[in-house]
Amino acid sequence: MWIQKGNRIEIERHDVLFEECLRYLNRNQNELLHEVDIENKVIRKAVRCEKEIVLIQLEATDQHLLLSFPLRVPDSRSKAEIVHHVIDWMDLDRDLAPFYQLAKQDHILNHIVHGREGLRMIGVPDLFEAMAWSIMGQQVSLHVAYLLKKRLVERYGESVVCEGKEYWTFPEPGIIAKLTKEDLLSLKFTNRKAEYLLGVADIIATGQLKKTALQQMPLPVMEKSLIAIRGIGSWSANYVMMRCLRHPDAFPAADVGLHNALKKVIGSHSKPSLSEIMEWSEKWTDWRAYATFYLWMELAAE
């Protein structure tokens, strides 16, 4: 899957449409956790390893994704950890051929998948970051959610500097768990969101909730386990299952972006009803997470 060549690592590209992945990652100017250079087709990101923060750079050749280290080359153990992070982040181990075959036979998916083959569902590998993002995004616009994340990261995250630019990592749950509600209220969190975030930080920091344990559960059990956490409803649970736990059939059916994308694709003047969405999604079984992601990209194309 990957080989080391000097201080660089080549990861097999397979059918990755790297440019489209970068376009998704470049969708908001307030994003702090990576930097995309669309013109040169390069992305940089700070990754927290066991003992250090490593700045990585990812670009594409014809056959590989080329991983390099602009600041300092990590040791072998950290390199392996970073490669695993990149593979998880871009879902590189997933065989998308069955999804594309399904899409060809579906009047909705065929429209949004054609021409985007190779777009990978960009994930959020860290469980705390994924759950925190799902909390920050509840019942607000994407713009507001990004502002909340920006304030949180700049106040409590860690960073490295390269060529005059600062690259941030998401705050660790142990750091956030020690805060007071007032600390988060000062960042413009609501009372409820502050309480939810502190609670999630605590159960992850203390080991009560682990990504590996969740991933071993069947989808209904996984969803039930997440919904049992205060502040995590069906939308948040499915978002986390989709972007972090990588279950291909997770489906945030109540997502506003999903509704708007379907409205656009079917050419309707009004949003489809939830019952209509659930009926359509039955045909996408086993791939509803990818169907959702591709529909989101249809909105990003506007």
DSSP bridge partners of 167: 160
Where exactly are the structural domains of the chain? 2-93, 127-243
Q: Which residue has the tokens 């990755």?
A: 16
Which is the catalytic residue, given 91, 202, 255, 286? 255
* Structural contact between residues 69 and 57, judged by C-beta atoms closer than 8 angstroms: yes
Catalytic site includes residue 183: no
> Taking a C-beta distance cutoff of 8 angstroms, is the pair 258, 276 a contact?
no
Phi, psi of 227 (to 5 degrees): -65, -25
Domains 2-93 and 127-243 share a fold: no
- Residues 155 and 272: their CA atoms lie apart, in Å, by 40
Domain 127-243: top CATH class: mainly alpha
Asked whether the whole model's pTM tops 0.85, one would answer yes
State the distance between the two ends of the chain, measured CA to CA, in whole angstroms: 35
Q: How many helical (H) and strand (E) elements, i.e. helices and strands, does the chain have?
A: 15, 8
Q: What is the pLDDT along the chain (302 residues), one digit of tens a residue?
A: 788 877 889 898 778 899 999 999 998 889 999 999 999 999 999 999 877 899 999 999 878 899 999 999 998 889 999 999 999 999 999 999 999 999 999 999 998 999 999 999 999 999 999 999 999 999 888 899 999 999 999 999 999 999 999 999 999 999 999 999 999 999 999 999 999 999 999 999 999 999 999 999 999 999 999 999 999 999 999 999 999 999 999 999 999 999 999 999 999 989 999 999 999 999 999 999 999 999 999 887 65
CATH classification of 2-93, choosing from 3.40.1000, 3.30.310, 3.40.190, 3.40.50?
Answer: 3.30.310
